[in-house]
Structure 1
């Protein structure tokens, strides 16, 4: 029987004698479909096109395109290419932008989770 490798269900044997977990819990990362959807929406809005206009140009239903932009549906490579062609952009631009968004969100989450440093007061003479 195969073991579940999910981060949430992973066995964590690294605890100290007091039973305190010594391995930091990994931070949740945004899903790729959410980052791709937000990126597609951004490119659409930058081109001043409505969702309906883009859907017609990309040969996809407006409802499905809306689901993609909201990160509710996975986008196939064929549909991504069709939407990008309708927007006049390259698939690589969308992927790079989505990856940058994911990296930025992950860095922001790490900074937020970091323990704040107490300010050092400077004594005046």
Structure 2
């Protein structure tokens, strides 16, 4: 059975929380999400919206990009290498698919990010929305 995105996200969030020796209650309170719903997300039973994922990552004091990178590695490891084309290679940015260790993947990811020309505009602060 294939690893689902929601399961990989939940695994990454749980590993992060446990590595910080924090409880579900602490993180759910900080992220303003119910304890039960956070538990369901961590177990891969519920899909978290992008807004909710951002709130959970803020509560864990970890960048969302780090969680997504961890998830992408988990998903890549779950798929047989044969026939898989890395995103960078599909865009003409990378080499042929081959087995690489985690450090090499991180270095390739950093190189792709350095080539990225997109501009990320942060969302307005909650106070700015309330004043509008």
Common topology (TM > 0.5): yes
| Rounded Cα–Cα distance in structure 2 between residues aligned with 1:102 and 1:45 | 21
- Residue of 46, 49, 59 corresponding to 1:86: 59
Residue of structure 1 in register with 2:47 after alignment: 74
Structure 1 residue 106 displacement after superposition:
1.8
Q: What is the aligned residue count?
A: 82
Note the 1:1-80 alignment, pairs <5 A: 28-80=1-53
- Give unpaired runs (5+ residues) of structure 1: 1-27, 109-125
Q: Secondary structure at the match of 2:26?
A: helix
TM-score (norm 2): 0.59
Shift of 1:107: 3.5
Q: Distance in 2 between matches of 1:57 and 1:106?
A: 35
RMSD across aligned positions (CA): 1.6
The TM-score with structure 1 as length reference comes to 0.62
CA shift, 1:29, in A, is: 2.4
Whole-Å Cα distance in 1 between the matches of residues 48 and 80 of structure 2?
A: 25
| SS in structure 1 of the partner of residue 80 of structure 2 | helix
Q: Which runs of 5+ in 2 are unaligned?
A: 82-132
Q: Structure 2 residue aligned with 1:103, among 49, 54, 76?
A: 76
Which structure features the higher share of helix residues? 2
